[in-house]
Amino acid sequence: MRIKICGIKRVEDAIMAAYCGADAIGLVVGQKHNSDDFIDKDLAQKIVKECPPYISPVLVTELDDAEEISNLAHKIGVTSIQLHSDCTVDSIISLRKILPHIKIIKNFHVNGFEVIQAMKPFESVVDAFILDTLDLANDKVGGTGLVHDWNISRSIVKKISKPVLLAGGLTPENVGEAIRFVKPFGVDASSGLKDCDGFKDEIKLINFICSAKYEFFKVRDPSLKN
């Protein structure tokens, strides 16, 4: 089980996520839609430099130009890129040529079973997929706090060959159920872990990560269910 905490906006939250047991943090840079989680590239670079060892910083971006994305990833110093744009297979191939050693994760919004066919052409060019919920009313493509149909997500996990991470409205209260039902490779949360000030809440972080890891081990080892 891999756990990513997205929408990190300050060094303190990155360190807190790492010490609570997160595997990765998401830095949202390169904006085309609404979000409270966007930060500039200089702050993102600072957060990456201050990250403890053994945690992966991920560039989460809505940009779709391969050269622009690669320049941003190089400046910030990330190890993975999460694409929340309408980029094509060819643009991802171009990005891979520029950054052959960086992991690429492609976002898809779960709005019907037809998303499975839309994902298929990308299987050969990405390292993983992340499933999220679209919020058209507020022009948000991520960090919406909205849960989608997990029946579709579970079907995607079974039918797609690459690792699938689950996002979209995950909280400390529902992440265990999500893992039991969908059985994803990992989970990703942002808005469900915020305090009233818009930054991450330590108690929510601890509860989310503990619940996710505990449920994952129950799924992997049925003897732990009793």
What domains lie within the chain, and their CATH numbers? 2-225 (3.20.20.70)
What is the tens place of the pLDDT at every residue in 148-176? 899 999 999 999 999 999 999 999 999 99
pLDDT greater than 80 at residue 16:
yes
Three-state SS letters, 61-104: ECCCCHHHHHHHHHHHCCCEEEECCCCCHHHHHHHHHHCCCCEE
Separation between Cα atoms, residue 212 and residue 148, nearest integer Å: 18
Q: Can you give the pLDDT at residue 151?
A: 96
130 close to 165: Cβ distance less than 8 angstroms: yes
Pinpoint the alpha helices (H) of the chain.
Answer: 11-20, 41-50, 66-76, 89-98, 115-119, 150-159, 175-182, 202-220
Percent of the chain with pLDDT over 70: 91
Residue 87's nearest CA partner among 114, 121, 111 is 121
What is the tens place of the pLDDT at every residue in 111-134? 899 999 999 999 999 999 999 987
Averaged pLDDT for residues 185-199 = 94
pTM above 0.85, yes or no: yes
Question: At 223, is the pLDDT very low, low, confident or very high (cuts 50, 70, 90)?
Answer: low
Q: Can you give the pLDDT at residue 172?
A: 96
Question: At 200, is the pLDDT very low, low, confident or very high (cuts 50, 70, 90)?
Answer: very high
pLDDT greater than 80 at residue 139:
no
Question: At 137, is the pLDDT very low, low, confident or very high (cuts 50, 70, 90)?
Answer: very low
For 52, which DSSP code? P
